[in-house]
Chains A and B, each alone.
Chain A
């Protein structure tokens, strides 16, 4: 029996969604690809067992987050940290939305990997505090505090995002 039977189909079906999460976590296309490939290689090695367990995607997503955090030292060395916060631009046109996005990207890169992971899991993947805690291997209380810290740091790093972040329901942080 091919030990990778069904693996290729799984990857082809899910790799785009997984790549998006990896890209949000790393903020860099090449690093996202490296991260996802590393996790998929590990998934392939355990594929038969994962197939029996029935939820390989959960394994991959957990691997993405944990691998991303463990890569911290290496990635930090590669990151170019800017000494100044992004320029504040006021307005409400389409260019403004694009600039907001760039500012958000830059600010996300300046968060710690764990803070970034918390925001991606909570607000991109829409996971609950408990699910996020399970994926990160920490307590729900830590998730709540990390979320609060991450949002606060985003506000500090990019004040022009205040309106955007204002939409985040404070209660939702603790949901």
Chain B
């Protein structure tokens, strides 16, 4: 027996040394994302919707690289999307240079795949200096990561693409590229990606399955749409919240520029509170989270932020992560490159979970890319 075991031990000793701790944790997180999508139906049955996010593995966000085009179907749920001006500096003067593949929107999947989306217009190469805040066409991702909304220049319409089956549904309205470049547009998807909200001077909501368009009354813009197309939360020019139903808006008597997705039961909305703005300047930051029953207009809870992580300052609010937590994001401020000539800033967002009952905030992940400028989109935001 002794010699047999000795030989087995000598064979075992040939095993290479490995360090699998971080790989295993990354894999476990990716699994969470992948299974979230398949379990959506059951989550909808529960009282909340969740948005589980993940940092893609290294190598997915090298600026200037040209990724493969998005396959026709069978794409895993999206973890985020971004464009980075090919890693070059952007000025209004060199805008015409960005009609290239490397400046296209890039989608990073929950399993780390990275694909460009040629069909989605990205940088407006004809943008004029006076309109420098509107540099690219919008893109948004449903909170389950399965559908992506974008502007299709070929069709001059907005499109929602199902990443799994590859089906692309077009909105009925025609919007020219010229209008997009001039006026800009913000897109909102319902958590299941079926309903698309268009936020411009005139706002509307589209059922992408049937093509039915619902116009939002003048002065209001659609902000959040529940699964099944209801309820519809709208805001006015002063960020006052309202509930749109049957062609009318009922004020909710609350104000916020940061409004979460609706929970899957369609009743609960979370929003950030405490911000004060004077003369277009923020004089006080958000410091609390409020939940609201949109069917009754009743405030359910209010909690001031606690355990605020370092670097957390100007949060945006996304979808529900659990029955008690909502996902927030904030821009990363990386000064480590030090302004060196041969350096390049790291851009991106960090995500956080906030407990709506206690206000406790904890950091979840960071999503980064090396570039001078660009934009990053997370599901549900």
Contacts and interface: CB of A to CB of B under 8 A. Distances in A.
Contact of A32 (B9, B15, B32): B15
Contact of A36 (B1, B5, B12, B20): B20
A169 B32 CA distance: 48
Contacts of A124: 5, 8-9, 12
A159 to B, nearest CB: 15
Contact of A15 (B2, B11, B12, B21): B21
How large, as a class, is the contact surface on chain A? Answer: 35 or more
Smallest CB-CB A-B distances: 4 pairs: A23-B15, A44-B28, A40-B24, A20-B12
A126 B56 CA distance: 41
6 contacts: A16-B17, A19-B16, A29-B15, A45-B28, A45-B32, A108-B11
Interface in B73-109: none
Interface string A41-76: 111110000000000000000000000000000000
B27 interface: yes
Contacts of B17: 16, 19
A104 B27 contact: no
A11 B15 contact: no
Contact of B11 (A24, A33, A126, A168): A24
Contacts of B25: 4, 7-8, 44
A23 B1 contact: no
Interface of A, secondary structure class, is helix
Interface residues of B, number: 28
B7 interface: yes
A147 to B, nearest CB: 12
Given A15-B18, A36-B18, A24 B12 contact: yes
B21 A100 contact: no
B1 A168 contact: yes
A43 B24 CA distance: 8
A120 interface: yes
Interface of B: 1-5, 7-25, 27-28, 31-32
Contacts of A172: 1
Contacts of B19: 12, 15
A37 B1 CA distance: 31
Contacts of A101: 7, 10-11
Contacts of B23: 37, 40-41
A101 B28 CA distance: 37
A29 B12 CA distance: 10
A42 B23 CA distance: 12
Given A21-B12, A29-B15, A101-B11, A8 B31 contact: no
A167 B12 contact: no
A164 interface: yes
Contacts of A88: none
A174 interface: no
B24 A41 contact: yes
A89 B25 CA distance: 47
A105 B15 CA distance: 13
Interface string A95-110: 0000011001100100
B325 to A, nearest CB: 13
A22 interface: yes
Contacts of B4: 123, 164-165, 167-168
Nearest to B27: A41
Contact of A123 (B5, B13, B15): B5
A8 B25 CA distance: 8
A120 B5 CA distance: 9
Contacts of A33: 16, 18, 20
A29 B16 contact: yes
B354 to A, nearest CB: 15
Nearest to B8: A124
B35 to A, nearest CB: 9
A41 B22 CA distance: 10
Given A44-B28, A123-B1, 20 more contacts: A7-B21, A11-B21, A15-B21, A19-B16, A20-B13, A23-B12, A33-B16, A37-B20, A37-B24, A40-B24, A41-B27, A41-B28, A44-B25, A44-B27, A45-B28, A45-B32, A104-B11, A123-B8, A164-B3, A164-B4
